[in-house]
A and B are shown apart, each in its own frame.
Chain A
């Protein structure tokens, strides 16, 4: 049997689960089983990637004579491998955290599975048409997840997020059209691997590179909530139900960075270098402005939303570092941030469920009343601050070292970002976890995470955070050759 068939299988499993749920299968059980089962093809393809470096599925080559040369082609290499696993595992955790007694459980689980499916497809697709389309698959389910099951100003948040993301996507679409049309006419293709080779041999003229890179930065930047395109993110995450926020902040957002790594760096290297000072300004905005804004938050969910958007700044610093070390750090931090953000939103969801609020001044005494929840809150907080031993630290330190020679000033700013996020997070933990037990928590006695059923998603994410923090080479080993090729002149 051809092992490459596992690639489409990765997409088929959630799809089959969606169909089964729509036809009446038990929503939670089916979704959970599907997301666990999907790890099997994940293992299969990972084995091949670790051995051979890459794996493909689908028709070879592109028929250039066709007007619409779209081909369903999937592939995986060292760079997309960690993101694949991030998606698979965060999906498992997110569905694990989802409540069985949620209203309209059928639609809820279908939407969650579709968000995960969109992310998976985007990371696996080689054809730009599907690369783009799969990301959009997640859009409407997110809209509905926030709008129907969200909290706070859910309507506004859902609209803002959806329209912002569509705007970003369309900018991106124009950039993609431009990239494809920049190739010489006989070699035009939608396969980004082939396109990379083509444009490496015949680079795009420098002036064209600049505005293509600008379009890519604006498009992907909106998806990653780069300042000034960020305003959808904090509110959207604050209003989303916990599993949706986990999937979106943890996984889907990484699509933007992945896209920049895949397309902007190799295809428009000159433009990317020329515009890196603008990216530098924007990421400084993320770190300082959103960092300060996160200090001002009174709601734990909003704080997480801001801090999640803020850390994107550090990842972008890795992207403009121009060194393998910095890019590797960005990749590790993508994974680390995905895990820690997912854990943070999961904890916030549980706190909100148990106390009925996430306003920090109404909370308190979490440590005495619900020690397990407190433990995971600490892990999420410490990971996001960048405590050594956890994944985020590994990524951040690599980015700082990698970017030091090119952008020492920005590294200084990023270091301030660590301070800001520490202050915000520690203050939050203090007011939530310590002090007298709040009346909100007191009313429901013994409502800690209950047994293995409720604990395992948190334990899973925590274990992964430690694993990535202690052995970042798990990510870096397979990714290194790909990253080296990215910044090769």
Chain B
């Protein structure tokens, strides 16, 4: 019985409940709805951890599967949802926007789509799930109607998302035309041992293009900084972390496990992925250097991270796959706290300009320390968590013999430290501005950031738990998949 309440169903139900509650309860008595949504989010997170190992109902067996990848990533997405709900509650929407329940409810739908993606094994299922994610996000990005920047962000996301969906659909259509199926296992059976036909390669190329938009990989990255800057910060966090992760989950699913885990496809697409990775790392890192707005800065940092993950993906092996999964968790743990901070910065100062960090360490040593650890972890400095992630990328590249990718990765890691040190420098050795706003950061922020910093340190010094999580869930699947072939 319980298996019917897999997180997707409950997520959708929760979203619907929130909207209904909003419609039925008279205005003025709705203050408890935000708190309710947080509680529901946390409950769902616990439920997901407890239950995501359940096999899928048989009627869905052709479309969805419960395996290591879904095991690792469903909690990931629901955790993102909890974080987003937490900061959405505090999003400064302005006076005219009294009704905000949709703002809280829509991420639930989006997360349901993400969870479906994590276990989809059919391109049609992928397409439907992806649209569920994307349409909610279009609405959310433009949600702050009184701000032109937010509308612009929503518009850009809509156009770019529509374009990427177009590529994806076209790819699926070509695929269906060549392979006669949209189901991964059928495609594999159909294509195994044969040289890949040009039509199949074309289809894979189109699908890759569609997904490259999602992960903001060069040359399909240009929308990211503008959208991130304009969208409401909770949604920026969702886009930067959950949506990007979704793209990678699909890439993993398609290229490492599913439809195209074929040598004939890999022979063509491995160099393409590596080249994209090199370009993405380079552009993300270099373009981040001059940024002075924290949200744009995080956008480029996210592009650079996507590049590292693409490099790992490009090694086309078992180790590359675990690396990407671990990297995404490390990225979540290091980046989300920074977004929480960015939103509080916006509450206090009105924008996320980096000059508001000047002298922060003297005003608020706690948040400054936590942020420093998060930034250093993103830079990949030992003994922090991000180092383990980068180390596994480098190791994967070395063992695959991909020296160009390795060299570029290393150089860009050095340059990257240069730009991650910029906010640290501002916090610790710039003079405090003369006018400091009277409003202080709330005390919960201090604790969240300190906890996040501690997590970077502890998981960095003892990365076992994270490695175990990834390894335990991915290793049996890889071998199972190989047998399946």
Do A and B actually bind? yes
**Chain B 270-321 residues near chain A, CB threshold 8 A:** 319
A130 to B421, CA, bound (A): 23
Identify the interface centre among B319, B387, B428: most chain A CB within 10 Å of its CB.
B428
B414 to chain A, nearest CB (A): 5
CB neighbours (8 Å) of B391 from chain A are 129, 173, 177
The prevalent SS among residues of B at the interface is helix
A170 at the interface (CB under 8 A from B): yes
Name the segment of A137-145, A232-240, A308-316, A470-478 touching the other chain: A137-145
Across the interface, which residues of A come within 8 angstroms of B322, CB to CB?
Answer: 67
Which residues of B (20-61) have their CB < 8 Å from a CB of A? none
Residues of chain B lying within 8 A (CB to CB) of residue A162: 417, 421
Q: Is there a chain B Cβ closer than 8 Å to A300's Cβ?
A: no
Interface of A is mostly: helix
A67 touching B471 by the CB < 8 A rule? yes
Q: Which of B323-378 contact A (CB under 8 A)?
A: 361-362, 372, 376
Whether A104 touches B362, Cβ cut-off 8 Å, given contacts A140-B376, A173-B391, is yes
Question: Which residue of A has the minimal Cβ distance to B395?
Answer: A177
Q: B100 in the interface, Cβ–Cβ < 8 Å?
A: no
Shortest beta-carbon distance, B386 to chain A, in Å?
12
**Set of chain B residues within 8 Å of A178, measured between Cβ atoms:** 398
Kindly list chain B residues whose C-beta atoms are within 8 Å of the C-beta of A241. Answer: none
Q: Are B428 and A148 in contact (CB under 8 A)?
A: yes
Q: Among A104, A143, A173, find the residue whose CB has the most chain B CB atoms closer than 10 A.
A: A173
Asked whether B394 lies within 8 Å of A136 as measured between CB atoms, the reply is: no
List A residues 238-296 near B (Cβ within 8 Å). none
Distance A148 CA – B361 CA, assembled complex (angstroms): 12
A174 at the A/B interface (Cβ < 8 Å)? yes
Q: Which residues of B contact A107 (CB under 8 A)?
A: 361, 428
Least Cβ distance of B422 to chain A in Å?
10
CA distance A173 to B387 in the complex (A): 11
* B186 interface residue (CB < 8 Å to A): no
Range, interface on chain B:
35 or more
- A67, A134, A136, A171: the one contacting B410 at CB < 8 Å is A171
CB pair B381 A140 closer than 8 Å: yes
- Is there contact, CB below 8 Å, between A147 and B428? yes
Known contacts A70-B463, A173-B391; is-contact A163 B383 (Cβ 8 Å) = no
Given contacts A136-B381, A140-B381, A143-B421, contact A174 B394 (CB under 8 A): yes
Known contacts A136-B381, A167-B414, A181-B398; A144/B429 CB under 8 A: yes
B63 at interface, CB cutoff 8 A: no
In the complex the two chains form, what is the Cα distance from A177 to B428 in whole Å? Answer: 34
Query: Do residues B387 and A133 form an inter-chain contact, with CB atoms below 8 A?
Result: yes
Residues of A in contact with B (beta carbons under 8 Å apart): 66-68, 70, 72, 104, 107, 129-130, 132-134, 136-137, 139-140, 143-144, 147-148, 159, 162-163, 166-167, 170-171, 173-174, 177-178, 181
- The contact sample of 13 A-B pairs, CB cut-off 8 A, is A66-B467, A68-B392, A68-B467, A70-B464, A134-B383, A136-B383, A144-B428, A147-B425, A148-B429, A162-B417, A166-B413, A177-B398, A181-B398
